[in-house]
């Protein structure tokens, strides 16, 4: 099961990228004034924002295509505190016959 996390206490701070296919969850916790952003990439270098969080949250998702994901605080998105963010992939893929 792929997993990545980050404790962000500054701007431009991201987790390592992981490849996910199938189900995954995103967890945001901590006491912070920041915008935490989940991003995805097809090539591991060009990142697109998926969703942003300004409060602690738990969310699940599904991506049918093998894709890179990371989570963190973009430049300009940090004010104070520490945001702890993680993404857990479950490597669930429908059986193909």
Polymer length in residues for the chain = 97
- Domain with residue 53: its CATH number is 2.60.120.260
Determine the Cα–Cα distance for residues 24 and 10; give it in Å rounded to an integer: 25
Give the residue carrying structure tokens 């060009």.
46
pLDDT value of residue 56: 98
pLDDT value of residue 94: 55
Residue 96 located in a structural domain: no
Residue 95 located in a structural domain: no
Above 90 in pLDDT, residue 92?
no
Neighbour-count burial of 87, counting CB atoms closer than 10 A to its CB (0-12 exposed, 13-18 middle, 19+ buried): buried
Residue 94 located in a structural domain: no
Exposure string for 49-62, b = 16+ CB within 10 A, e = fewer: ebeebeeeeeeebe
Residue 15 located in a structural domain: yes
Above 70 in pLDDT, residue 1?
yes
pLDDT tens digits for range 32-88 = 999 999 999 999 999 999 999 999 999 999 999 999 999 999 999 999 999 999 999
Residue 17 located in a structural domain: yes
Contact (CB, 8 A) for 35 and 54: yes
Q: Number of structural domains, the chain?
A: 1
pLDDT value of residue 36: 98
pLDDT value of residue 13: 97
Residue 65: domain span: 3-89
Give the residue carrying structure tokens 């602690």.
56
Residue 97 located in a structural domain: no
């Amino acid at each position: 099961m792929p997993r990545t996390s980050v404790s962000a206490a500054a701007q431009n701070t991201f987790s390592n990228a992981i490849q996910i296919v199938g189900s995954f969850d995103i967890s945001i916790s901590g006491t912070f004034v920041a915008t935490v952003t989940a991003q995805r990439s097809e090539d591991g270098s060009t990142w697109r924002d998926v969703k942003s969080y300004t409060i602690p949250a738990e969310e699940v998702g599904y991506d049918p295509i093998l894709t890179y994901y990371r989570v963190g605080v973009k430049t300009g998105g940090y004010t104070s505190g520490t945001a702890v963010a993680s993404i857990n992939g479950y490597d669930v893929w429908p059986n193909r016959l």
